[in-house]
Structure 1
Amino acid sequence: MSVSDLIARYPDLMARCLNLSGTTILITIDEEYKITFCTDSLVQQLHLLHKPTGTHLGSVLCPLEEAEFFLTISNSSKKFLPQLFRLCESNDLYRCYTFPIDTGYLVWGDKMGSTENEILESMSHLNNELSDMSRQLSKANRELNKKNQELEWANEKITRISRMDYLTGLSNRSYFQERLKEIFALTKRHGLEFTILLADLDHFKRINDTYGHDMGDKVLQAFGTLLANECRTEDLPARYGGEEFILVFPKTHASGVITFYERIRRELIHSDLLPDPDFVTFSAGITEYEEGGTEISLLKKADDALYEAKKNGRDRYVISS
């Protein structure tokens, strides 16, 4: 591209370039960035005795902060790409545009009102502001992570509370029913077995009437603790309502649950929950999972067996038929 072609392609910008003043410079360079022509204004700005023809452009225009020297070429008539250079041996800053021509490149520069020190100082202030923003953002992220962790802990606590009986610390009825469905599905899928024990504290109303409801609560808590301590990790003890408790024993036959019942019974009788000669007993209905059964039918069998144990004198267990 010739200079006349350049004028035709960029008329507005070239009009500014050719309207040279003491603060405007125009330089042509070859493909190796060696100066082939420059305006007198460059010679005046550099206080030279003659034009620096044949020297490298980098000896005239210096990049800021000792960056590597390169030129950004404006090839589009719609978008000019400015670069900021310092006039060597001075603090004067020039906004420069570079265009391709037949013999190399044309560089046009316009002196800026600010000095390099002022620009760098502004850049330093901007960097400081960015650093402050970065620190504030990091702090905000830490606070957000902390709040998210607290929220996660709170949600876990809410989940535990929603599944727990407030008095005994055992699972509550709704969570037990949720888990029973899972155990039922796994048992059917893998051909396993499990057994349910439904327990009811004997003469609990009499305990409340005789010793007060505080004593009744202590008996419930002690019984719940005893069940939890004697259960395996995979077992599920829960308070079913009032003085009723229910337990699921995965991979366990009724014979194993009977052993568990007898162990709890002995522990309970020999505890000193009530003043002599009274002591606490409980009745239980025991039922095994049967193929083809449902959760409802299984719980009904356990309840019927518990009813038989109560009817037959309490302080005993009955296995459903």
Structure 2
Amino acid sequence: MINSVKNKDTTGDYNVKPLAAVSDELTTNVVNLTIPINYAGSRLDQTLAKLVPNWSRSRLQTWIAEKRVLVNGQIATAKQLVWGDEHVEIFPLKIAAESPFVAEAIHLNIMEEDETLIIINKPAGLVTHPGNGNWQGTLLNALLHHAPELKNIPRAGIVHRLDKNTTGLLVVAKTLAAQTNLVRQLQQRTVKRDYLALVLGEIKQAGNIDAPIGRHPIHRTKMTVTSKGKPARTNYQVIENFDGCTLLQCSLETGRTHQIRVHLNAIGHALVGDPVYGGKPGKTAQAIAQILIDFPRQALHAQKLALIHPKTEQVNQWEAATPEDINDLLLMLRQNKK
């Protein structure tokens, strides 16, 4: 049995404390954390994957199997349930750094940066994270060039994503502590994200969509509303009505993959220009229909972002101007408005 160093944090957040002496196979740090009460009834491995996102769930499961995770001083199992307030100790192995991605000199529109965070206004066409055939030319590659120290942070500090052709605000953490803090804020829904969305059809009043989202059972690259999915909630307000379409402000309570696109499509108002979930313009003038058909991407922009700064603990807010292509689209629609 490994003798641990207790260092319980009264806030419930995990902290790292050096061990007096450890074997060569261990890191020089043991992670101590207290399970928050809102995880009651969850599996240990699933809970730890959320609380310490710097390690993958599979790696945590391996360490649990190797008896490197203790719960209240006892050897744990991956499937055991937690009920809140348990004290957990993790004794991580020394592991080689993850295979690094290549740093690339790609321009970033940085709205604000300090020693803890980077706020980025992402353009259309920029993939957030390498994968699925986009292994270079991504936001992550650009971040590694802009701030090489991010190679030591999982996913180069990225804590949430925007689809390739969605524009707008993203927050990047520059420290592991900040990344963990922001992941928890996302889970606890204290991060506020508002989007501009131009949708097909006319919507006259505000509403909300509360429908679980999961992987499509047949088309595996798509998401869909399904009873087997994870809870998802989107609120929307009407900003402006046009012939054949409506400009909305959408606010996320959850952050599921393609959430706004899937939810709006589910209520019969797909995003203008959406190549995956989009529909065809309804009954409207041919000129308007052609304008909507010709827009080359989903008309979605992450306009506003608000969060509690991990270091100052103050609420910070940012707003990104509407991108030129959506502005031009709105101008054409206004010129053809009855």
Q: Does TM-score exceed 0.5, indicating one fold?
A: no
Higher helix content, 1 or 2 = 1
| Largest Rg, 1 or 2 | 1
TM-score under structure 1 length normalisation: 0.23
TM-score under structure 2 length normalisation: 0.22
